[in-house]
Amino acid sequence: MWSVGGLRDIESRADCERLVTAFYERALEDPLIGFFFVDVAKIDLDEHIPVVASFWETILLGTRTYTGGAFGPHAALHMRAELQAGHFERWLVLWRTAVDEHFAGPRAELAKEHALRVAAAFLRRLRSIPAGEPGDGFVVSLHGPAGSG
């Protein structure tokens, strides 16, 4: 068992669920990215956390419990409300914070490193997809008194 400063490394499915839950506790309330989860994706945490935990369990523990494609749901989300570099940067800050508060060790470091790779790859791929097309989700518009624009 790896332990640093009283924190142990990620060692089980339960640890992956704990990490994902800790991340979402912050992410759902975050002023920059929270609306993606709450208003755009309208995620159901009871369904979502086990799926995301399986993703991380596969990456960190080699269990192969995740069989889906992680990019597809993010591409669909991007088409409804544009995911930008700053959103991924914030996601990474929240993810690293959750990891560092709960775990320490080689797998915890891998969780942070892999998140960085995923964010970079997703952002690169999303840049080739049209985002936030009118009628496909949220539309940003300017509101104010008539004739003020």
pLDDT in tens, 15-31: 999 999 999 999 999 99
Residue 100 domain-assigned (yes or no): yes
> Taking residues 65-87, what's their average pLDDT?
86
Average pLDDT over residues 142-146: 46
Query: Comparing C-alpha atoms, which of 91, 99, 104 is closest to residue 16?
Result: 99
What is the pLDDT, as a whole number, of residue 144?
45
CATH of the domain at 122: 1.10.490.10
Return the pLDDT at 149. Answer: 44
Is position 66 within any domain?
Answer: yes
Could you give the percent of the chain with pLDDT greater than 70? 85
CB-based contacts of 129, cutoff 8 Å, min separation 6: 75, 78, 79
User: In whole angstroms, what is the distance from residue 118 CA to residue 128 CA?
Assistant: 16
Q: State the pLDDT at residue 7.
A: 95
* Beta carbons within 10 angstroms of residue 42's beta carbon: 7
**Residue 24 domain flag:** yes
Query: How many independent structural domains does the chain possess?
Result: 1
Evaluate whether residue 135 is within a structural domain. no
Please check whether residue 73 lies inside any domain of the structure. yes
Distance CA 143, CA 29 (A): 25
Examine the pLDDT at 138 and tell me if it is beyond 60: no
Give CA–CA dist 119/117, Å, rounded: 6
pLDDT, tens digit, 9 for 90 and up, residues 79-135: 888 888 999 999 999 999 999 999 999 999 999 999 999 999 999 999 887 765 444
Segments forming the whole domain that contains residue 70? 7-126
Q: Residue 145 falls within a domain, yes or no? A: no
Task: Look at residue 111 and tell me if it is in a domain.
Answer: yes
Determine, yes or no, domain membership for 140: no
